[in-house]
Amino acid sequence: MINIDDKLYVTKEINSIIVSYAKDKVLRKLLKQFSFKENTKKISDLLQDVSYYNGDAPPFEQQDEMETLIFDFLKQLNIEELTALRYWVLNNKYSQYFQETEIEDMGEGFDQKFGRELAYKLYEPKNSQLDCDMKELLYYRLIDFASEFDLSLIDKHTKRTIKDTINNYCNYI
């Protein structure tokens, strides 16, 4: 836990390394679980169902499956992977957090106060709603990812296309 005397310094380079790790290792793992059936190389029914809606929210049954997938995925992460994913969320939602900040004085010391709010989100992810934001962000990323495909026809090239898209997606999201 952070208190008034503690200081959290995260340089631009350290943040970049952590976020890169989250994208390259952690999100890649989630996308693979979403895309392929467990212990097989077959395309998952969930990916096929969600891709059918081309970026729109799928029906409740698939939404529930996606939420279960995300919940189970997050439960199996170690602390380093989960922390990296939280940094990724902070980076993705930075503008939203900035706009929602309740710091009244935008003058001198604002950066430090806002930094403390971000640190609070990292140290208290449940109380600060960071974990809820993470689940929501992952949910919508899976929908976006699924919308990349037309899986009405699955042929011998489809698996390769999915794997290539995972690689591209992990480099740019």
Say which residue the tokens 């794997």 belong to.
163
Q: Is the pLDDT of residue 7 over 70?
A: no
**E-state strands within 7-47:** none
pTM for the model: 0.87
Q: Is the pLDDT of residue 6 over 70?
A: no
As a whole-number percent, the residues of the chain with pLDDT over 90 amount to: 65
**Cβ-contact 170, 24 below 8 angstroms:** yes
The stretch 158-168 carries a mean pLDDT of: 93
In the prediction, which pLDDT does 116 show?
85
Residue 173 CA to residue 144 CA, distance in Å, equals 10
**Cβ-contact 46, 62 below 8 angstroms:** yes
Q: Among candidates 74, 82, 92, which has minimal Cα distance to 33?
A: 74
In the Cβ-directed half-sphere of 160, how many Cα atoms lie within 13 Å?
Answer: 3
In the prediction, which pLDDT does 40 show?
78
The stretch 63-79 carries a mean pLDDT of: 97
The stretch 8-35 carries a mean pLDDT of: 89
Structure tokens, 122: 């990292």
**Cβ-contact 110, 103 below 8 angstroms:** yes
The stretch 42-57 carries a mean pLDDT of: 94
Q: Is the pLDDT of residue 75 over 90?
A: yes
38 vs 90, higher pLDDT: 90
Over residues 111-146, the pLDDT tens digits come to 777 888 888 999 999 999 999 999 999 999 999 999
Choose from 1-5, 129-133, 154-158 the range with maximum mean pLDDT: 129-133
| pLDDT confidence bin for 11, thresholds 50/70/90 | confident
7 vs 118, higher pLDDT: 118
In the prediction, which pLDDT does 2 show?
47
In the prediction, which pLDDT does 9 show?
66
